[in-house]
Structure 1
Amino acid sequence: MMIRSLSADFLKIRKKGIWFLVFLAPIGIIAMQALNFGLRFDYMKQQYADDLWGGLITNISFFVPISLYLGCTLIASLVANVEHQMSSWKQLLALPISRTAVFSAKFTLCVILLSVSCILLSLATIILGLAFGFGFSFPLIADTIKLGFFPFFAALPMLALQLWLSLSFRNQALPVSLGVTAALVSPFAGTLSEWFPLNWPAMGYAGPNNAWFISAGLCLGFIIMFIGLVHFNRKDVD
């Protein structure tokens, strides 16, 4: 049943601007670094002479957590808002399909959309480096995949929380405000404990024990998703 619901959700998001956001985030990050390196190429090349690829990936990684928090917020809100705008919750839940399948399908849809964005970021990073003449080696594939997905895994609690709130409230002011605030605060959260959740995406990529932060993100993300699922199953719909 979840597959059928997921297929229906893919049809519903057509012409809703969600795919535009999926492409916008990685292209925007790469465009900023293209300007950063392009305008100061000699200086950046000298600064990262020992590891040009490492310098490029490090500069890109600074913006990944912010983009993830905004992406989780906007995609979850837009996916949920498809039903809110059409006032179709009663019709949807009257169908012979469980609420668990409906919620799981929307969560899976958000994960797929953000995964596509992460893949595009990895590919675009390689293309940008090659355009600057950095050369190519196969370990770069693994490095850029880590750049895209390790922070995403660590940010999974934000996605689960945003989807839960977005599905629970017809007015999206609360979840969107919370997500935007988290994105704006995240660059300054480094002064707090590394185990502060807003630091997990950055630590999941660059931390000395990144596996711990990735595991924590996955575990807490699925716990929040389960709590949201239980609430969604018991909630009355308008």
Structure 2
Amino acid sequence: MIKRLLSVELHKTRKICYIVPVFSAIVLILFTCMEWYLYFRQGEAGIYAGFNIIYMFLSFTMLLTISLLCSMVSETEHQAQGLKFLFATPVDRVAFYFIKAVWVIILMIGCSALIIGGFCMVWILYTDELLPFAVLVKQTFGCLAASFPVLSIQLFISLYFSNQTIPLGVGVTGAISSLFLPRITQNVLYILPWSYPSMASPFIEGYVTWIVLGIGSGLALLAAGALWFRTLEIK
């Protein structure tokens, strides 16, 4: 059943769902290069200062892309009234819900791979300095793993609200807040899942803790959302 649901999800996915991760990766790479060239290239860190720029904007890119994708894969069901049809069939609702999450994760893994590949290409073309590839991978995929609870929240509200304005509003607000929450001195705000992606950087001591916390809380929220979805009634 899982394989069949994945195949169905693949055929239902609109082309823009593939374009968004590519566009997000390209914009992040171009913005980082521009920001580095204009403001950071003369500093002591040289080209390595680019990793600081990635750190500043990677969480925003990840969370915004996740919000857009969750909204898009859910809007397909709302527009075609696919949920009504689904609830009238013997399809496992929990499996359906998890497949939606898995599909968004697959698209985000692709986005992360494009970010890493794009930065590697720019680095090779621009300089002969040694590329800290392990740091780049940890930074990108660590941020993605720590974004898991936000993905679970966004998928929940995107499937709950047929009008995607509310989920997108929450997603944009959360993405913007991720730029500031880790820099606030009040540690109590760190419990908010929108702070996890920025804290999951190898530049921060104990960053693995935030990755583990993100994966654990993300699974818990996803399971809670799936249980809710199983009891949902569509009129």
What's the TM-score once normalised by structure 2's chain length? 0.91
Q: 1:188-208 CA distances to partner (integer Å, 9 max, x unpaired)?
A: 212132733322111111320
Contact 2:67 2:167 survives alignment (8 Å): yes
Q: Structure 2 CA distance, aligned partners of 1:62 and 1:164?
A: 27
Deviation, structure 1 residue 123: 0.9
Q: Which residue does 1:182 correspond to in 2?
A: 174
Question: Which residue number corresponds to residue 87 of structure 1?
Answer: 81
1:105 corresponding residue in structure 2: 99
Which of 112, 125, 141 matches 1:118? 112
Cα distance in 2 for partners of 1:81, 1:107 equals 14
2:222: which partner in 1? 225
Render the CA deviation track for 1:21-44: whole Å, top value 9, x for unaligned.
Answer: 11011110110122223445xx61
Give the SS at the match of 1:207. coil
Indicate how the Cα distance of structure 1 residues 200 and 62 shifts in structure 2: closer, same or farther if over 3 A, else same: same
Q: Deviations over 1:124-145 (max 9, x none)?
A: 11112122214345xx332221
Task: Establish whether residue 7 from structure 1 lines up as the match of residue 3 from structure 2.
Answer: no
Mapped pair 1:163 → 2:155: yes
Q: Judge conservation of contact 2:35–2:53 (CA < 8 Å) in 1.
A: no
CA apart distance, 1:95: 3.5
Tell me if structure 1 keeps the 8 A contact 2:178–2:197: no
CA distance in 1 between partners of 2:148 and 2:79 (Å): 26
TM-score by length of 1: 0.90
Partner-residue secondary structure (3-state), 1:135 = coil
1:181 Cα offset (Å): 0.9
With 124-133 and 227-236 compared, the bigger mean Cα shift is at: 124-133
Q: How many residue pairs get matched?
A: 230
Gap runs ≥5 in structure 1: none
Contact 2:158 2:167 in 1 (8 A): yes
Stretches (4+) displaced over 4 A: none
Secondary structure of residue in 2 paired with 1:195 = helix
Instruction: Tell me whether 187-196 or 27-36 shows the greater mean CA deviation.
Output: 187-196
* 1:48 counterpart letter in structure 2: A
**Aligned equivalents of 2:14, 2:174: Cα separation in 1:** 28
- Provide the residue aligned with 1:29 in structure 2: 28
